[in-house]
Chains A and B, each alone.
Chain A
Amino acid sequence: MRPLTDEETKIMFEKLSKYIGENIKLLVDRPDGTYCFRLHNDRVYYMSEKILKLATNISRDKLVSVGTCFGKFTKTRKFRLHITALEFLAPYAKFKVWVKPGAEQSFLYGNHVLKSGLGRITENTMQYQGVVVYSMADVPLGFGVAAKTTQECRRVDPMSIVVFHQADVGEFIRNEDTLT
């Protein structure tokens, strides 16, 4: 477990900023304590200083997970967001997409969100903007990337994809073994 390098931090922040913009600042600079990002097994964990200290007692090879996993760096050094980060990102999400109850399940099975399942969307969403997907009851369901702008979304036919699937809470079950 080690702190992230500058490059890694940059990559990760770039990814996170797609979803929460400058609100990353609120994650890094928290009033309720010191929180930090740590890299372990190519995964980025977000934890409080307290947990960090506790985790130092565990040897590196035995440590499976600590804090909250935000995502992992792929072999190509890209950052991939994990669904576990949802809890931290959802409150700060700038662009949101609400999914109709009927399409909820489809999304939770890992499918993209179609226009027919789109219940509500934040205005002025740009194309390829990272969005947090909510159910109509405002329960965060996962991450996505807007495939169309809000304006386009109005016009496209019902079967076209409006949000690309990135991660969903269904992964907690589907990828239970790999999700740490």
Chain B
Amino acid sequence: MRRLYVGGLSHLITEKDLKDRFGKFGKVEDVELRTRKDEDGVPYKTFGYINIDISDVDLKKCLTVLNKSKWKGGTLQIEMAKESFLHRLAEERQAATEQCLKPPKAEDKRQKLLDSLSKAGVENFTMKAAVPGTEIAGHKDWIVSKFGRVLPVLQLRCQKGNKARTLKYDPSKYCHNIRKLDRDATVEPTPVTQLTWEVQGGDDDISKKRRGEFPPYQPPRPKKSRTNVVNSCNTAAKTKPSQIVEAVNPTEAHRFKNGFLQSTNQRATHRRGAYLNDGDVDSDEEIRRLVEAQQISHSALQQVSEDDNLEVVGFDYLKSGKKGRSEDKNEDDYDSADTDELFASRKPPPPPPQKKSAPPIPEQLTENNTDRRKKRLKRKGKAGGQEEDEEDLLDADEDLTCWKSSTTVQRRDASKQNCQTKGGISEKQSNEMADLPLSESDFSDDEDEDEEELDSDDSCSDSDYEGMFSNVTHLEISLADLQRLAEENQETSDTTAPSILSTGLEQKTNLPSGPTEQPAPKKGTLPEDILAAILEDNSSEDEQGRKKGKRKGVITSLPAFQGTRALNQGLDEFMKAQKEQDERRDVKKQKLDSAAQLNPRATTSGTTNQQKHTETKKTPESRHKDMEEQKRKGDVVKDMPATKGLKGTPSEAETVSSSSNSSSDDDGEHGDEKEGGKSLQAAVTAKASLLSSSSSFEEDEEKSTQDPVKAAPSTASDSDSFSSDEDEKEEHSLPRVSLKAEDEEEQQRKANMRRLAAVQQRQKEAEEHKKLIQGALANPDAQKAGAGKHIVFGSDDEDDEEEVETTSEISTSKKPLFQEGQSDDDSTSDEAPSNQNNRNIEKERLKPSGPQLFGGSDAEDDGDEKEDGGRFDIRPQFEGRAGQKLMELQSRFGTDERFRMDSRFLEDDEKKDEESEGKDSMTQDDEALEQERKKNLDILQSVLGSSQQTSSKTSSKAKTFRDVSSLHYDPSKEEHAAFETTADESKESKSARKKKREEAQKLPEVSKEIYFDVSGDLTTMFGLTKSDVPGQEENTTWDQEKEEEAGGQDEEPTLLSSAPTADLNADKEESAGFKFSFFGDDTETENKLTAEYKVESIQTPKASWQQDPRFQDSSSDEDEDEQEEEEEPTSTATKMREEEKETPSKVNLFFFHPEDIRLTEGPRLFCRSTQLENQREQWEERRNELRQEYRKKHKNARRKLKSSQQR
């Protein structure tokens, strides 16, 4: 069996094809097809392996036939292949097993030896009763030695000096050396169990491990990440390997230097796989795993980069199409490549659904995430403070309080915070648990709360959980810590009341001590640091989130929390309401409910609340109380200032803070923040900038909106800006919204005002217009002559002057004016009213700033009017070119007023002038530019070639497009004539075509009938039709002519024995005449020939002959020159014709009418006009000439041939 490689297959070939193809040469056992595909999945190579049972000859044949042959679009390439490795493996295995089965050869030999020995009487190498020294038969080298043992004779080779020789050691000769072995029987072998040894040891770990008893696997505990002075060295030492591993990334290494965190801020993609390396990093395995994970992530990264490397878009690709994406990318797009890493690390992993880019995940979740991020930022600051504290380890109490503050802060949000709090707690615990027993209870309380929160969190969808996972970077908290925590929880969970008390106490102490404990963090300096802090928090959070599942199982009882809840139930209710609100912010009802619930809360919290309210009312935010939501939010917001204010008085602060801590988380937080001091603000601002740069747009928006608000209450606004919880967010955002709304309202109001003002103005204007018109119309009635006169006289000159400039607008009203002027000259004031009217209009014209009666007129007019106004001051009459012309005109007539030149005289000129003036200046450049443009376009067209044309075509098409549905036939339009004509023509043509087709179809049938009818024998026809013919024959003219030349009558009997009539006679004469004309003497023979010929020819070519006889006629007398050759055919043809002509005419006059022209003319073609002798002479001459010519040519040709041969 052989294995062949078959390459160059097309992609469509199946295994069966191959099998069939190769089946001819041998038995194909197995076909294996392989297809190589590129990254797009397009196959570019197909080959196969064939296991075939084939003989050498066949193989050769196969190779010669198929190799490099074309098959289905590919060139086959066949080569011998190695055996399939599987096959080989199988074979090897089989061989191995076979070999195992087979006894080895040595044994074989031995067996043989034993056999042969036994044959010789040796059993088990002993020969009893044999004298030592006796050789064993058949075995040369075996000899019997002492005790009857059969031993081999040894040939020993020894080298002494130069000589090498062999010594023969015959055991029989040295038999005294040999002891008897089997004297003391056989020693019992010790059992295996006794061979082993046992390690004695205690119960300690090492000894257990030695014994192979390993403790059940415990998930590694997170490391104590926050620096505890004692532990920091250890942790540093521990994490060193990981650092080394991770130092691949320089920025990350930098982060480690902070000592703030170890780890994990690998690139975004790394983080995905990073959950692998939770737990201690100190073991080699861990390190290896780390490296692996990194490599994996690296490769994944590379793969990803290679995979979605290229994106091909169509021409119609738009930016807006991928807005979200571009938004995402906005962050890093404008930074140089160096900062890429930084960005990558800063951004949470892209795929997880936390980002805004992931719509499908419930809103809550996304909110959570964003919140968390924000919180991270915030906490970072705090953590920084804590860190410092811890590093200093100034005071245990301080630490405790600090921790408290952190825990209280961490309680803020139910669902999200838990992780963080635990992170903080664990740290704290590791630091402070031993020192402060009191804190344990407190902590446990908090913890319990957290636990419950965790539970609730767990109830959330898994997606949430996974979302958190996706953020996971590294586990820092050791397992031991966690365990301890759990234990403590369990311990303290029993003692509820004290815990509550302690919480209360702690919280009380918490706030006042806050400010001292939280110094300004020194962190905002480097972006990396900040990032590190953020990520650290993040990681710890997530870690906790992951732990929580396990922990949940451990801790079940949560009495402490219930106690606290019982204490502040109202507040809790409020919290719940808030939560609900978080979930469905949009529903107003909920808000109303919460508002309702706010009241009981107010009662419970009693004085403090009242205080808050009173204080809040003072705050500027209190203005937005119009809407209910806003009101509610305002209240919530007011809480913060309230706490702020209370802070000043420590006694009150305690109560407030306690309530706020337990109830509204944000309040507590704000308090903390405030206590944290304004010193934080610097850092805060730094963070703010970071936030703005990295976080979502919403935040930015909010910020921008907030900025003005910030100015007034600095701390509050700061806390606002860094509120990270959803609750807080909402609460803060809502006031912001309200602020925004207010702003908007104000703007709207302003806008409305403006609009109103504009409307009013318009109305006013309209009214004024009305008034003006009314006045204009009313005035003529009211003031009559006096005013008119006054105006007439006073404004006479002016009028004249104006008249020159009057524009087209007033030209209508000018005519009367002009007349009036003339009438004035005549000193008649009859037309006062009209004058008055004009006057009014002119007034209006004169003051362009005032309200215009015809304000709606064109801008041109306005401009003109203005011009007029301007010119009015000067002597405008003869201004400009038009004026000059006018002046010239008028100068001809002197100053005679009757011939005063009017604008009417000038209008056309003026306009033209203006136009020309304008054009003179404009056109020169414009035309040049226009020309240039055209030229450019021409060139462009030439450059672009056809493409440009096509585009223009399309445009023209688009222009000419008409809606067909709206098109109606209008007979009056010439264009539409096309419609009618085309329609008719098409119809006609159709019908015509049909007819033609029908005709074409019919025609052949007709012809067939004819064909069949006509066929018949001449003899029978002759017999039948004799009697009918004679009259016609006699009529023919040419017959008569021929009769003169007609020869003897003796031929009658020869031709037709049964034709006695004169008609036949005539016929014979005719034919004889024919013969005579051609051949003269030998008519008789010819006649016979023709007669014989006749019988044959009539039957066959009848159809063609009948169809067009004239054509054949023409063929008969073609060339006189070649008469010689054509003599016979022509004669026969004519014969035939004559015969036919006679016969049909006799039978029925189907083809020829009586006195047919053809009958008269046709025969003429056959007869000579000249005499036969003449013709013969001519022919003789001609023949001689032709012969001579031919000879000449022949001679010439010969000569040429000869000459060519000679040459």
> What residues on A are CB-neighbors of B332 within 8 Å?
101
> What residues on A are CB-neighbors of B939 within 8 Å?
6, 9-10, 13
- Known A-B contacts A22-B951, A49-B929; the reply to A136 vs B313 at CB < 8 A is no
> What residues on B are CB-neighbors of A9 within 8 Å?
935-936, 939
Question: What CA separation (Å) do A52 and B319 show in the bound complex?
Answer: 34
- Tell me if A22 and B944 are in contact (CB < 8 A): yes
- Known A-B contacts A24-B940, A120-B310; the reply to A94 vs B933 at CB < 8 A is no
Does B1082 reach chain A (CB closer than 8 Å)?
no
Residues facing A in B430-476 (CB within 8 A) are: none
Does B116 reach chain A (CB closer than 8 Å)?
no
- Tell me if A106 and B337 are in contact (CB < 8 A): yes
Closest to B947 in A: A22
The listed residue (B314, B329, B933, B944) touching A122 by CB distance below 8 A is: B314
- Tell me if B312 and A115 are in contact (CB < 8 A): no
- Tell me if A29 and B933 are in contact (CB < 8 A): yes
Question: What CA separation (Å) do A152 and B930 show in the bound complex?
Answer: 44
Report whether over half of chain B's contact residues are helix, strand or loop; otherwise say mixed.
Answer: helix
Task: Pick from A104, A118, A121, A150 the residue with the most CB of B within 10 Å.
Answer: A104
- Known A-B contacts A28-B940, A29-B937; the reply to A121 vs B312 at CB < 8 A is yes
- Known A-B contacts A53-B925, A101-B340, A104-B337; the reply to A150 vs B312 at CB < 8 A is yes
Does A34 reach chain B (CB closer than 8 Å)?
yes
Q: Which one of A57-65, A67-75, A153-161, A171-179 is at the B interface?
A: A153-161
- Known A-B contacts A36-B929, A104-B337, A106-B337; the reply to A158 vs B940 at CB < 8 A is no
Closest to B330 in A: A137
Question: What CA separation (Å) do A14 and B936 show in the bound complex?
Answer: 12
Question: What CA separation (Å) do A118 and B308 show in the bound complex?
Answer: 10
- Known A-B contacts A21-B947, A120-B310; the reply to A139 vs B333 at CB < 8 A is yes
**Interface extent on B, as a size class?**
35 or more
> What residues on A are CB-neighbors of B933 within 8 Å?
28-29, 34, 36
The listed residue (B317, B319, B943) touching A13 by CB distance below 8 A is: B943
> What residues on B are CB-neighbors of A150 within 8 Å?
312
Question: What CA separation (Å) do A144 and B281 show in the bound complex?
Answer: 50
Question: What CA separation (Å) do A94 and B40 show in the bound complex?
Answer: 26
- Tell me if B937 and A25 are in contact (CB < 8 A): yes
Residues facing A in B924-965 (CB within 8 A) are: 925-926, 929-930, 932-933, 935-937, 939-940, 942-944, 947-948, 951
Closest to B340 in A: A102
- Tell me if A13 and B326 are in contact (CB < 8 A): no
The listed residue (A17, A137, A154) touching B944 by CB distance below 8 A is: A17
Residues facing B in A24-58 (CB within 8 A) are: 24-25, 28-29, 34, 36-37, 49, 52-53
- Tell me if A137 and B326 are in contact (CB < 8 A): yes
Does A87 reach chain B (CB closer than 8 Å)?
no
The listed residue (B312, B317, B929) touching A34 by CB distance below 8 A is: B929
Contact with A along B326-348 (1 / 0, CB 8 A): 10011011111100100000000
Does A110 reach chain B (CB closer than 8 Å)?
no
Does A116 reach chain B (CB closer than 8 Å)?
yes
The listed residue (B38, B315, B319, B925) touching A94 by CB distance below 8 A is: B315
- Tell me if A123 and B314 are in contact (CB < 8 A): yes
- Tell me if B313 and A121 are in contact (CB < 8 A): yes
- Known A-B contacts A37-B936, A150-B312; the reply to A105 vs B944 at CB < 8 A is no
Closest to A11 in B: B943
Does B1120 reach chain A (CB closer than 8 Å)?
no
> What residues on B are CB-neighbors of A135 within 8 Å?
333
> What residues on B are CB-neighbors of A29 within 8 Å?
933, 937
> What residues on B are CB-neighbors of A36 within 8 Å?
929, 932-933, 936
Question: What CA separation (Å) do A37 and B939 show in the bound complex?
Answer: 13
The listed residue (B330, B337, B937, B944) touching A21 by CB distance below 8 A is: B944
Question: What CA separation (Å) do A110 and B305 show in the bound complex?
Answer: 23
Closest to A56 in B: B925
- Tell me if B310 and A136 are in contact (CB < 8 A): no
Contact with A along B1146-1180 (1 / 0, CB 8 A): 00000000000000000000000000000000000
Question: What CA separation (Å) do A158 and B303 show in the bound complex?
Answer: 12
> What residues on B are CB-neighbors of A154 within 8 Å?
40, 310, 312
Closest to B320 in A: A138
- Tell me if B340 and A123 are in contact (CB < 8 A): no
> What residues on B are CB-neighbors of A165 within 8 Å?
none
> What residues on A are CB-neighbors of B937 within 8 Å?
25, 28-29
> What residues on B are CB-neighbors of A136 within 8 Å?
326, 329, 333
- Tell me if A105 and B315 are in contact (CB < 8 A): no
- Tell me if A121 and B337 are in contact (CB < 8 A): no
- Known A-B contacts A14-B943, A34-B929; the reply to A25 vs B309 at CB < 8 A is no
Does B311 reach chain A (CB closer than 8 Å)?
yes
Question: What CA separation (Å) do A158 and B305 show in the bound complex?
Answer: 10
> What residues on A are CB-neighbors of B947 within 8 Å?
21-22
- Tell me if B314 and A13 are in contact (CB < 8 A): no
Question: What CA separation (Å) do A123 and B310 show in the bound complex?
Answer: 11
Does A96 reach chain B (CB closer than 8 Å)?
yes
Does B826 reach chain A (CB closer than 8 Å)?
no
The listed residue (A21, A24, A118, A137) touching B310 by CB distance below 8 A is: A118
B856 vs chain A, min Cβ distance (A): 28
Does A164 reach chain B (CB closer than 8 Å)?
no
Question: What CA separation (Å) do A86 and B698 show in the bound complex?
Answer: 33
Task: Pick from B319, B332, B929, B939 the residue with the most CB of A within 10 Å.
Answer: B939
B920 vs chain A, min Cβ distance (A): 15
Residues facing B in A102-139 (CB within 8 A) are: 102-106, 115-116, 118-123, 135-139
Residues facing B in A75-109 (CB within 8 A) are: 94, 96, 98, 101-106
> What residues on A are CB-neighbors of B334 within 8 Å?
137, 139
Question: What CA separation (Å) do A101 and B340 show in the bound complex?
Answer: 8
> What residues on A are CB-neighbors of B970 within 8 Å?
none
Question: What CA separation (Å) do A22 and B941 show in the bound complex?
Answer: 9
Question: What CA separation (Å) do A123 and B329 show in the bound complex?
Answer: 22
- Tell me if A105 and B333 are in contact (CB < 8 A): no
Question: What CA separation (Å) do A106 and B314 show in the bound complex?
Answer: 26
Question: What CA separation (Å) do A22 and B314 show in the bound complex?
Answer: 18
- Tell me if B929 and A153 are in contact (CB < 8 A): no
Does B1081 reach chain A (CB closer than 8 Å)?
no
A12 vs chain B, min Cβ distance (A): 9
Contact with A along B28-41 (1 / 0, CB 8 A): 00000000001010
B958 vs chain A, min Cβ distance (A): 15
Question: What CA separation (Å) do A52 and B926 show in the bound complex?
Answer: 12
- Known A-B contacts A22-B948, A96-B317; the reply to A10 vs B309 at CB < 8 A is no
Does B306 reach chain A (CB closer than 8 Å)?
yes
- Tell me if B311 and A98 are in contact (CB < 8 A): yes
B75 vs chain A, min Cβ distance (A): 22
Add 11 more A-B contacts to A17-B940, A123-B314, A158-B306 (CB < 8 A): A6-B935, A10-B943, A13-B936, A34-B930, A94-B315, A96-B313, A98-B311, A101-B329, A101-B337, A122-B314, A154-B40
Can you list 23 contacts pairing A with B, beta carbon distance less than 8 Å?
A: A10-B942, A13-B943, A13-B944, A17-B944, A25-B937, A28-B940, A29-B933, A36-B936, A49-B925, A53-B925, A101-B329, A120-B311, A122-B315, A123-B312, A123-B314, A123-B315, A136-B333, A137-B329, A137-B330, A137-B333, A137-B334, A154-B310, A154-B312
A-B pairs, top 7 by smallest CB distance, nearest first, are A120-B311, A137-B333, A138-B319, A13-B943, A105-B337, A123-B312, A9-B939
Could you tell me which B residues sit within 8 Å of A by CB distance? Answer: 38, 40, 305-306, 309-315, 317, 319, 326, 329-330, 332-337, 340, 925-926, 929-930, 932-933, 935-937, 939-940, 942-944, 947-948, 951
